[in-house]
Structure 1
Amino acid sequence: MSKRIFITATNTDIGKTYTTKLLLKELASRGLRVGVIKPVETGVIDCKYLDGNDLLKCVKDLNCEFSDLDVEDIVPISYELPAAPYISSGGKKFDFELVDKKVKLLEERCDVLIFEGAGGLLVPVDEDNMVADLIKYYKANALLVTHCSLGCINDTLLSKRLLDEMDIKHTVAFNCREEDDSFKKVSEPYFKKTDFRVLKVSDEIDKICDVLYNL
């Protein structure tokens, strides 16, 4: 089994795909064969996988062993409605068997497999499972991507508490965007005061990678 890393976030549109691509590139630069899977993607209309196609292009550029794969190989489950998978599927059971088969296929071609989740940790993928349960099921180390705008203290600590309670090994990365110029004044002082390590996606992906590998 290759090493597994699961990219999750405090909410949707936080920067999971952006972070996943940076991590893929960093790992590849270290001589590792990289792979990626997004078990389920919603909002797929007319076979347009916004995240899946982006991820497939990236991984093909980094690992020639993925050159013959299609987007359905790295996004096994997809739905049209841009909502939580449980809603988009009409309440269908999450197809673990299908995803397991794709994981096995991909792991034959890589040393490290990065999973990208859908939305945040408590997004329901079916009636019985949340995204957090997928992390546990696939025995992956988690990277929690959080934002840097007002409210990030609450959002970050809530998600981290859940990961702690579920005994999931993880680290946290802050995806600070250009408009987040207030972070240093209104949020970062709390994290520094409480010795909460602030690792920023755009500047410290190498350090984030090191932490993930040493969990």
Structure 2
Amino acid sequence: MHTIFITGTDTGVGKTRVACALLRRARDRGLRAAGFKPVASGSEHTPAGLRNEDAQALLAESAPGLDYDAVNPVTLEPAIAPHLAARAAGVAIDPLRLDRAYECLAAQHERIVVEGAGGWRVPLNDRTGFDDWVAARRWPVVLVVGMRLGCINHALLTAEAVSRRTPFAGWVANLLPPGQPHWEENVETLRQRIDAPLLGIVPMHASVDVAATQLRWPDETAATP
């Protein structure tokens, strides 16, 4: 499984932490792996230009030798939905540009972890959403479920929507503060209703090191370090 796409039940559910942990796990297996944040909104001006915190985290967990722009080709300042951030910046997000950036990474790496923005159906422009772009490439999707009130409905709806468009490779339960009462029962409810494997449970406040030991790639048979 060369490439996986990470989406979430919502924004702020831990997509970046899971993506970084999967990159760490791939590299621990001796694979040359790279993160890819095709579009990042909510970026800050630095002496090197606009930089996004999530994209920088992916870059730090990628195989050495990559420039920032290789990991995040479209960087937008406003912390709003990508299509709105692009409109505010006076630019258009062209999926062909994202394709070219991905192909450059894919030619040099054995594993690519692509992280979306927000949830599954976030628009990229007036015509295309992340769901359309990923479905056109038939990338397997990993869903990060933030374990909080409302997650069951969000997770089941997203899993259904993903499965209609592209392979659904599995899901991750990410424990969020302040802590969901009865989270174990919620995980079991989702396990019974989602027709894809649970790839791991990430403890609250877990470091990338710890998270990597709790997860497995969809093509691994067991969650062994």
TM-score with structure 1 length normalisation? 0.85
Q: What amino acid is aligned across from residue 56 of structure 2 in structure 1? A: N
- Structure 1 residues 212, 157: CA separation in 2 closer, same or farther (over 3 Å shift)? farther
TM-score (norm 2): 0.81
2:79 maps to 82
In 2, Cα distance between the equivalents of 1:88 and 1:125?
A: 10
Hey, what's the Cα distance between the residues in 2 that align with 1:154 and 1:52?
29
Seq. identity, %: 25
Q: Which whole-Å CA distance do the structure 2 matches of 1:97 and 1:192 have between them?
A: 36
| 1:33 aligned partner | 32
Q: What amino acid sits opposite 1:131 in the alignment? A: F
Contact persistence 2:156–2:193 (CA under 8 A): no
Cα 1:180–1:101 change in 2 (3 A) is same
1:52 aligned partner: 55
Cα distance in structure 2, aligned partners of 1:97 and 1:152: 33
Q: Contact 1:150/1:183 (CA < 8 Å) preserved in 2?
A: no
Alignment RMSD: 2.5
CA 1:212–1:127 in 2, change beyond 3 Å: closer, same or farther? farther
| Structure 2 residue corresponding to 1:211, chosen from 206, 210, 218 | 218
* Aligned-pair CA distance for 1:166: 1.6
- Which one-letter code corresponds to 1:17 in the other structure? T
SS in 1 for 2:51: coil
Greater mean deviation of Cα atoms: 121-130 or 87-96? 87-96
Total equivalences in the alignment: 207
- Report the counterpart of residue 9 of structure 1 in structure 2: 8
One-letter code aligned to 1:211: P
Contact 1:171 1:212 in 2 (8 A): no
CA offset at residue 194 of structure 1? 4.5
Instruction: Trace 1:102-181 onto structure 2 (pairs within 5 A).
Output: 102-181=101-180
Encode CA deviations 1:154-182: one digit per residue, 9 max, x unaligned: 11001011012224332111101352241
Structure 2: distance between partners of 1:113 and 1:185: 31
Mapped contact 1:6–1:141 kept (Cα < 8 A): yes
Q: In structure 2, do the counterparts of structure 1 residues 94 and 174 end up closer, same or farther at CA, with 3 Å as the change threshold?
A: same
| Matched-pair contact (CA < 8 Å) for 2:13–2:176 | no
Return the offset for 1:43: 1.2
Structure 2, unaligned stretches of length 5 or more? 204-209
Q: Which amino acid aligns with 1:200?
A: I
Q: Which runs of 5+ in 1 are unaligned?
A: none
- Say whether residues 1:70 and 2:70 are aligned partners: no
Structure 2 distance, partners of 1:159, 1:51, is: 22
Residue 200 (1) aligns with residue 201 (2): yes
Match of 1:24 in 2: 23
Displacement of 1:209 in angstroms is 2.7
Shift of 1:19: 0.4
* Residue 193 of structure 1: how far off its partner (Å): 5.5
DSSP-derived class of the 2:128 partner: coil
Q: What is aligned with 2:181?
A: 182
Pair 1:43–1:191, CA change in 2 (3 A): closer
Q: What amino acid sits opposite 2:75 in the alignment?
A: S
Amino acid of the structure 1 residue aligned with 2:81: A
